[in-house]
């Protein structure tokens, strides 16, 4: 059974999970995203001619962000969407499938794919006022949602549709932050770089709103915005449909590296050291002398 991410699986499988952090002496670590993979993933819907609808385009963004979180060291079965089907699956069920005999696991996996109560096609979480479909998520039952990212893409109609994009985004931030105040809640926006040529005013407003959507550090309004926001500009030539990232126009304070670094750091800041040990080790470039807390997971069939 194929879904909207199936065409991207070979690209994800072929990509090694390299260390995403760059460490320079006497400087804080800098997150280095795999932009080449993002270009490859986005090129798939562009070649298929489905980029204008943005649905498949947005799924490619989701798949890339999930891949980046796995690169950062988060467990593959705790990051949704998963690289393979089912895309949304509790970690404990995924671990059960991994430990069962292959034939039995395959049969059970086929059944699970037909049970939306166990493996839904999208991750929906309850906010303060309403349910929200979250595009990228890190969660497990004993810790609850730890990271929630909403993604949006825009390839045309920039100035016309921008107010609605950000009105929805701001409402979603307050809805999620009110129920999950310790979770890292992010908004990631991918825009076609033609905005620079055709509607430069809309691009200036985009950058400004990306900054204003963030949480205020103190005072009135603190706790209602996003933990982090990120912006990527992309473009492609109709002749070859190869997507390329346009880096130079995006200010550093709203670019993808700071977004991923802030989201990772926000998760680590509110969890004890025995949680996300691999993530901490990569971030600090050292081996932590502590074991990962697996919670109540007990699936020893030996």
Predicted confidence (pLDDT) per residue in 84-140, tens digit: 888 998 888 988 998 999 999 999 988 998 888 888 888 999 999 999 999 999 998
User: Cβ contacts of residue 85 below 8 Å, gap of 6+?
Assistant: 1, 3, 6, 113
Q: Where are the beta strands (DSSP E) in 59-177?
A: 79-80, 123-126, 131-134, 136-140, 144-154
Q: Residue 178, Cβ neighbours under 10 Å: how many?
A: 13
Q: What per-residue confidence (pLDDT) applies to 27? A: 87
Structure token digits, residue 271: 């969890």
Predicted confidence (pLDDT) per residue in 172-184, tens digit: 999 999 999 999 9
What are the structural domain ranges in the chain? 6-13+34-81+122-284, 86-120
pTM: 0.92
For residue 191, report the phi and psi dihedrals to the nearest 5 degrees: -125, 145
Mean per-residue pLDDT for 27-41? 95
What pairing do the DSSP bridges indicate for beta strands 21-22 and 30-31?
antiparallel
Percentage of the residues of the chain whose pLDDT score is greater than 70: 94
Predicted confidence (pLDDT) per residue in 232-266, tens digit: 999 999 888 899 999 999 999 999 999 999 999 99
Region of residue 266 (left: phi > 0; alpha: psi -120 to 50; beta: else): alpha
CA distances to 21, 78, 114, 189, 243 from 217, in Å: 26, 29, 44, 22, 36
């Amino acid at each position: 059974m194929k879904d909207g991410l199936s065409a991207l699986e070979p690209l994800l499988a072929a990509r090694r999970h390299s260390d995403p952090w760059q460490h320079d002496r006497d400087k804080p670590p800098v997150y280095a995203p795999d932009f080449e993979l993002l270009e490859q993933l986005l090129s798939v819907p562009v070649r298929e001619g489905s980029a204008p609808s943005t649905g498949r385009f947005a799924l490619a963004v989701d798949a890339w962000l999930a891949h980046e979180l796995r690169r950062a060291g988060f467990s593959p079965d705790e990051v949704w969407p998963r690289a393979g089907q089912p895309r949304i699956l509790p970690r404990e069920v995924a671990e059960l499938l991994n430990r069962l005999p292959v034939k039995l696991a395959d049969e059970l996996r086929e059944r699970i794919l037909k049970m939306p109560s166990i493996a839904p096609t999208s991750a929906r979480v309850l906010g303060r006022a309403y349910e929200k479909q979250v595009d990228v998520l890190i969660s497990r039952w004993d810790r609850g949602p730890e990271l929630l990212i909403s993604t949006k893409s825009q390839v045309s109609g920039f100035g016309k549709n921008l107010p609605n994009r950000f009105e929805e985004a701001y409402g979603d931030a307050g809805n999620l932050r009110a129920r999950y105040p310790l979770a890292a809640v992010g908004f990631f926006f991918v825009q076609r770089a033609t905005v620079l040529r055709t509607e430069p005013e809309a691009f200036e407003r985009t950058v400004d709103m990306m900054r204003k959507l963030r949480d205020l550090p103190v005072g009135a309004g603190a706790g209602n915005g996003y933990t982090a926001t990120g912006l990527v500009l992309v473009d492609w030539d109709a002749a070859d449909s190869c997507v390329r990232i346009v880096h130079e126009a995006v200010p550093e304070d709203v670019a993808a590296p700071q977004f991923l670094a802030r989201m990772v750091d926000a998760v680590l800041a509110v969890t004890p050291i025995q949680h996300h040990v691999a993530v901490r080790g990569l971030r600090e470039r050292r081996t932590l002398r502590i074991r990962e807390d697996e919670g109540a997971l007990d699936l020893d069939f030996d």
